[in-house]
């Protein structure tokens, strides 16, 4: 499904059930649906909605794909696009896009987090970051932002429409990675993994290529840049990894075997005709697979794209309420009390939907004042 018009139609249909998807767990396929899975390689197949179910140590993943129109002077769409929308809670695709919690610029104005990490992988378009520590950034087009919320931080993620003479398509994954109990109250941390530094390689087979990006962790000789210091992913023994794989028509790629007790899931988010092992998997479905076995991805006649999430489970109680993820109800109550009392440092920006100077390129300004830009 590579045609943009087909994608817009698909996303529009998908978003009709968003209310249930956000608040209810997904229902796994019955045994009869997966009876032909080869050698128990595939443990479960499930359909994907707006919010993707993930396995420990991940909490969930959201796939945003919006076909934003031309921008205006405020870096948002013209007001004519606001008609018929539930502004402030706009999660239904209309005219190819959503405003989310934004009222002028699409995106997510300042909001708090505690007890986990966000990993934001931007495939297309740009995101403006601002947080309660005074850090800021603009990143996208292959960049990855990694934020450790730890003991508490507010941040905004806005989607500025920088082009006034062309459409502003956006595609990103936001992945929530849990923190173990010992790390839930660490100092917040903000890190950029620029596209230029993301390891990329291709594998040819049968005259077709598989293109792999090692966004987090390692794969063979390829290793991503250092993780935040208190992340579950910082310990190589936890085998936390995120890969994005694009398969040309007819291409194959083998994910190597790891060990038992490592969770690994393959999310098929674009294409038509993928096989995992000998099992056909439908578009916009995920397969949880046995990481102790090698796994061959075989593509059909269209370009296919998959996201792979893997890691050793933390195996601790998870209690989540909105933006807070802790180990007990008491810790959740404390998180709300702390936020009401301290605002996690307050908000140092003039707007909760903070966007940066449209003349700026990709950059990151850290809480200590250090500014970095991508190299290359």
Q: Which CATH architecture has domain 4-16+30-311?
A: Sandwich (2.60)
Given this model, what pLDDT does residue 255 score?
Answer: 98
Given this model, what pLDDT does residue 226 score?
Answer: 86
Rounded Cα distance, 149 and 118, in Å: 8
Given this model, what pLDDT does residue 67 score?
Answer: 98
Given this model, what pLDDT does residue 34 score?
Answer: 39
DSSP 247-271: E-TT-EEEEPP--TT-EEEEEEEE-
Given this model, what pLDDT does residue 6 score?
Answer: 53
- 146 strand-pairing partners: 119, 191
Given this model, what pLDDT does residue 18 score?
Answer: 33
Given this model, what pLDDT does residue 297 score?
Answer: 98
Domain ranges of the chain: 4-16+30-311
Contacts of 271 (CB under 8 A, 6+ apart): 1, 2, 247, 283, 299, 300, 302, 303, 304, 305
Q: Are strands 126-131 and 136-140 parallel, antiparallel or unpaired?
A: antiparallel
Tokens 């934001």 map to which residue? 120
Phi, psi of 292 (to 5 degrees): -80, -10
Using CA atoms, how far residue 101 sits from 92, 156, 347, in Å, is 12, 11, 17
Rounded Cα distance, 160 and 359, in Å: 12
Which residues of the chain have a pLDDT value below 70? 1-39, 376
């Amino acid at each position: 499904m590579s045609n943009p018009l087909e994608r817009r139609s698909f996303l529009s249909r998908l978003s009709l059930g968003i209310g249930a998807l956000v608040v209810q767990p997904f229902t796994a396929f019955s045994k009869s649906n997966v009876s032909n899975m080869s050698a128990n390689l595939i443990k479960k197949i499930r359909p994907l909605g707006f919010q993707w179910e993930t396995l420990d140590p991940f909490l969930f993943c959201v796939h945003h794909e919006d076909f934003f129109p031309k921008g205006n002077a405020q870096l948002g769409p013209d007001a004519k696009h606001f008609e018929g929308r539930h502004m402030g809670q706009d999660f239904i695709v209309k005219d190819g896009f959503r405003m989310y919690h934004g009222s002028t610029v699409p995106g997510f104005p300042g909001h708090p987090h505690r007890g986990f990490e966000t990993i934001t992988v931007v495939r297309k378009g740009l995101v403006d970051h601002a947080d309660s520590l005074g850090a800021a950034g603009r990143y996208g087009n292959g960049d990855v932002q990694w934020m450790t919320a730890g003991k508490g931080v507010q941040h905004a993620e806005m989607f500025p429409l920088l082009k006034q003479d062309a459409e502003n398509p956006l595609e990103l994954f936001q992945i929530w990675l849990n923190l173990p109990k010992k790390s839930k109250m660490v100092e917040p941390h903000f890190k950029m993994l620029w596209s230029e530094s993301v390891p990329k390689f291709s594998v040819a087979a049968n005259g077709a290529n598989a293109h792999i990006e090692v966004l987090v962790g390692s794969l063979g000789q390829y290793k991503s840049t250092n993780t935040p210091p208190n992340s579950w992913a910082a310990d190589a023994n936890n085998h936390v990894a995120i890969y994005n794989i694009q398969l040309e028509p007819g291409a194959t790629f083998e994910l190597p075997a790891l060990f038992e007790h490592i969770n690994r899931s393959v999310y098929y988010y674009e294409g038509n005709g993928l096989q995992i092992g000998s099992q056909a998997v439908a578009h916009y479905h995920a397969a949880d697979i046995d990481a102790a076995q090698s796994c061959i991805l075989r593509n059909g006649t269209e370009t296919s794209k998959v996201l792979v999430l893997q890691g050793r489970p933390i195996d601790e109680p998870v209690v989540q309420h909105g933006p807070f993820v802790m180990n007990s109800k008491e810790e959740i109550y404390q998180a709300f009390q702390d936020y009401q009392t301290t605002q996690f440092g307050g908000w140092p920006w003039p707007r909760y939907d903070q966007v940066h100077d449209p003349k700026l390129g990709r950059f990151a300004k850290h809480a200590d004042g250090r500014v970095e830009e991508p190299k290359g």
